[in-house]
Amino acid sequence: MPEFTLRAATDQDVEAVADVWHRGWADGHAGHVPVGLHAHRTLSHFRDLVPSRIPLTTVAVAGDTVIGFVTVHDDEVEQVYVDASARGSGTAASLLDRGEHVVGERYDRAWLAVVAGNVRARRFYERRGWVDAGPFDYSAETSAGTFTVPALRYEKVLRA
């Protein structure tokens, strides 16, 4: 298991974050989202998304390598991805804890979206105290329009 540290993302992390996100998205979403959406989730697409999120992102780094990241937008833990090589290392738990801390500085409750078929992610969130608050339609934007993705909203009370 890799030893890692957490730090604020920088502009130099764009490529590494995009790479982790691209591979992780494909792994967690294959067979669980509309087939046509996959054609739009290219590495180039993720490279375009990352720069605006850098100020909202914390990365997990093992040596000089980004092995995961968490992005928080308002009360949403928007993205949590860990490279397959770092699974089981505690990286995901540390990143999720960081996301919860950031949300908890301003909000009493956090939420995140997960596709129903991503059972590994759902089990992880549930082990970490998150609760399935029900289905909703997530609007996935692409250059060709919007895809409706059936998702689940998970929530966690951060302070009573």
List beta partners, residue 5: 61
pLDDT for the residue numbered 157: 98
Angle among Cα 88, 93, 99 to the nearest 5 degrees reads: 150
pLDDT for the residue numbered 29: 86
Tokens of 81: 């991805």
Cβ-count burial 91-127 (b if 16+ within 10 Å, e if not): bbebbbebbbebbbeeeeebbbebbebbeebbebbee
pLDDT in tens, 74-128: 999 999 999 999 999 999 999 999 999 999 999 999 999 999 999 999 999 999 9
State mean pLDDT over 150-160: 94
pLDDT-based confidence at residue 34 (cuts at 50, 70, 90)? confident
Tokens of 138: 């997530």
Q: Which residue has the higher pLDDT, 13 or 143?
A: 13
pLDDT for the residue numbered 2: 62
Average pLDDT value over all residues in the chain: 94
d(CA 73, CA 158): 16
pLDDT-based confidence at residue 45 (cuts at 50, 70, 90)? very high
Give the percent of the chain with pLDDT over 90. Answer: 81
**Does the pLDDT value for residue 1 go beyond 60?**
no
Domains of the chain: 5-157 (3.40.630.30)
Angle among Cα 125, 142, 145 to the nearest 5 degrees reads: 120
